[in-house]
């Protein structure tokens, strides 16, 4: 069964801390995505990567960066976490040109 694994289901961090959210997929997919989900706002795309070392900004990239050094791993980085980054973060992957996104279970981040 195909799988997208997010390293942490729940994290609590303090304002100003550097935060890494890790996502690993075992499907050899080229495309990987990071979304955040907030009540009343749905899923919003932060960044996506269409290949190793390639990335593009999504709709809300401010305050975030990403890293894709290996095909299977896509990391979301909050350089200096702020309280407005408290959210559910969802990672997804997709084979290039394929129709279906596979999502991870999500990482709920709380920034105090």
Partner 1 sequence: DAKTTQPNSMESNEEEPVHLPCNHSTISGTDYIHWYRQLPSQGPEYVIHGLTSNVNNRMASLAIAEDRKSSTLILHRATLRDAAVYYCILRPSTGANSKLTFGKGITLSVRP
Do residues 27 and 6 lie in contact, with contact meaning Cβ atoms separated by under 8 Å?
A: no
Least spacing, CB of residue 6 vs partner 1, in Å? 9
Check binding of 73 to partner 1 (CB under 8 A): no
Check binding of 45 to partner 1 (CB under 8 A): yes
Q: If DSSP states are collapsed to H, E and C, what string results for the chain?
A: CCCEEECCCEEEECCCCCEEEEEEECCCCCEEEEEEEECCCEEEEEEEEEECCEEEECCCCCCCEEEEEECCEEEEEECCCCHHHCEEEEEEEECCCCCCCEECCCEEEEEC
The stretch among 14-22, 44-52, 64-72, 77-85 that binds partner 1 (CB under 8 A) is 44-52
Check binding of 24 to partner 1 (CB under 8 A): no
The stretch among 13-21, 64-72, 78-86, 88-96 that binds partner 1 (CB under 8 A) is 88-96
Q: Which of 90, 93, 109, 111 binds partner 1 (CB under 8 A)?
A: 90
Least spacing, CB of residue 72 vs partner 1, in Å? 17
């Amino acid at each position: 069964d195909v799988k997208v694994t997010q390293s942490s289901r729940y994290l609590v961090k303090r304002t100003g801390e550097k935060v890494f959210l890790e996502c690993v997929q075992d499907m050899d997919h080229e495309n990987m995505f990071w979304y955040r989900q907030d009540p009343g706002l749905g899923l919003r795309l932060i960044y996506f990567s269409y290949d190793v070392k390639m990335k593009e900004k999504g709709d809300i990239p401010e305050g975030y960066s990403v890293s894709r050094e290996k095909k299977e791993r896509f990391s979301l980085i909050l350089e200096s976490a702020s309280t407005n980054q408290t959210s559910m973060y969802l990672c997804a992957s997709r084979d290039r040109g394929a129709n279906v996104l596979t999502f991870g279970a999500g990482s709920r981040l709380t920034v105090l």
